Chains A and B, each alone.
Chain A
Amino acid sequence: GESVGLHLPTLSVQEGDNSIINCAYSNSASDYFIWYKQESGKGPQFIIDIRSNMDKRQGQRVTVLLNKTVKHLSLQIAATQPGDSAVYFCAEKPPARQLTFGSGTQLTVLP
């Protein structure tokens, strides 16, 4: 999962395997969540979002799961590829407030 500090959590997976990246969010009132991907030296790139009235949403090779009971968000990447290596972070948005971002997880895809 994500945490605040000097060192990012890391996840290493073999190419072709599935990846699961976790995020614990803080505000039970948050009703909108986003996953971003950030490659080295680039700005964050939107992957997928989910609203609090859903518990699962699928995109191309990615699935986001939302568990409001334990305030947990996960991103599943199917058949992980070398181009998926990046920092992934979640963001939550409470009503009438701005997005709050997690610190991220470094995903490394091994050949």
Chain B
Amino acid sequence: DVKVTQSSRYLVKRTGEKVFLECVQDMDHENMFWYRQDPGLGLRLIYFSYDVKMKEKGDIPEGYSVSREKKERFSLILESASTNQTSMYLCASTPTGPHEQFFGPGTRLTVL
């Protein structure tokens, strides 16, 4: 079974802190994604990566950056957390081509 793991299920941070969310997948997938999910708004794509050291902006990249130094790991970074970044963050991976995305369990981040 494909497994996508995220470093934390729940995280509480203060405004202005630097926040790292880690995601690891074990199926050698080329593509990895970071989404945020807010009530009634669906999943919104923040950043994605189709290869090591490659990254592409999604629909809402402002306030975020990413890092992909190894194929299995994709990190989301909030350089200076703000309260409007309180959300559920979901990581996903997929092989190249039209395939389903496999999701991690999510990290619920609260910024105070």
Residues on A facing B (Cβ under 8 Å) = 2, 4-8, 31-32, 34, 36, 41-46, 49, 51, 89, 91, 93, 98-99, 101-104
Residues of B contacting A42 with CB < 8 Å?
105-106
Tell me the residues in window 43-65 of chain B with beta carbons closer than 8 Å to chain A beta carbons: 43, 45, 48, 58
Instruction: Select the residue from A2, A41, A43, A93 with max chain B CB neighbours within 10 A.
Output: A43
Considering the complex of A and B, which 3 residue pairs feature the smallest CB-CB distances, nearest first? A43-B103, A103-B42, A32-B98
B1-48: which residues lie under 8 A (CB-CB) from chain A?
4, 33, 39-43, 45, 48
- Tell me the smallest distance from the CB of B55 to a CB of chain A, in Å: 13
Asked whether, in the complex, the Cβ of A89 is within 8 Å of the Cβ of B42, the reply is yes
Contact (Cβ within 8 A) B40 A4:
yes
In this complex, the interface size class of chain B, counting residues with CB under 8 Å from chain A, is: 10 to 19
Count of chain A to chain B residue pairs whose CB atoms are closer than 8 Å in the complex? 49
Rounded to whole angstroms, the CA-CA distance of A23 and B101 in the bound complex is: 19
Residues on B facing A (Cβ under 8 Å): 4, 33, 39-43, 45, 48, 58, 90, 98, 100-106
CB-CB < 8 A to B33: which residues of A?
98
Q: Which residues of B sit under 8 angstroms from A34, Cβ to Cβ?
A: 100-101
Question: Which residue in B4, B42, B48, B106 is a CB contact (below 8 Å) of A98?
Answer: B48
Q: Is the CB of B41 within 8 A of A31?
A: no
